[in-house]
Structure 1
Amino acid sequence: MRLEAAKRFERGDGNRAIAADLLVAVRPVEWQRQAWWQGGSAGLESKAPQSLPQPGKRQSTQLERELEKEPLAHGREDQGWTLARTKTVIGRQFHVSHMVQGVWKNQLWPR
């Protein structure tokens, strides 16, 4: 979509026409036009997501020790670990914000 929009920007097509043809809202087309204006077609290239922070060896060991304490030690009534609960422990212990997907991808939950 971005590359098609760039071709249309070069031709001088309006934002509304581009949005209607590409079946998107006008606002994203406006943002893309701004990026195109500032950086040309290169300004519209996809920026890969940044990699998630991964714990070092020491932090992994600390996390394992915390998770061995069971959820009750962390204020949970039942004894089940979930990705969301593991995420909370990581945030509290290391002051690092992970998304649940990051906990899953980095395999940080108890198995």
Structure 2
Amino acid sequence: MYPGVMRYPDGGGLTAKQRAQREEVRFEAAELFAHGVTPPQVARRLRVSRKSAYAWHARWREAGVQALRSKGASGRPSRMMPNWRAWLAAELDKGPAAHGWVEDQRWTLARVATVIARRFHVRFSPAQTWRILHQMGFTVQVPQRRAAERDEDAVATWIRETWPCVERR
């Protein structure tokens, strides 16, 4: 590994495609440096900051184009293996009842983590579970209609009597 390989904290919040696009910009800068273009000119041409252009130039001078190569996302690799994700998606489609939760037909992060742990013997925190689901393309779902058991009179009473006390605090 080269000492000056580019690294963005937490992957820079970037997808692999976005990281590759940034890497291409750095490679383009290296090509310009090789043709004698100065860092301020590179910054203007590629529409990047002068600070970035000077940093890239220093790395390029020190170790060549390879120093501008992306190192990928930072941090440890996920313990959630790629082939597990396909299995998990299929299990989530079956619904919570297929996994023993019959009283409430909603997936929660804790339930999803439990399903993963039962199958693969790996525990994930709610935050990790959410990250995995988000990467798989799942989003937060909100019920479209109100529960059949909802008592409108009790709700109105709560809003009228209890909420003003809570709100003042």
Q: Please give the TM-score of this superposition, normalised by the length of structure 1.
A: 0.49
Of the two, which has the highest radius of gyration? 2
Q: Please give the TM-score of this superposition, normalised by the length of structure 2.
A: 0.35
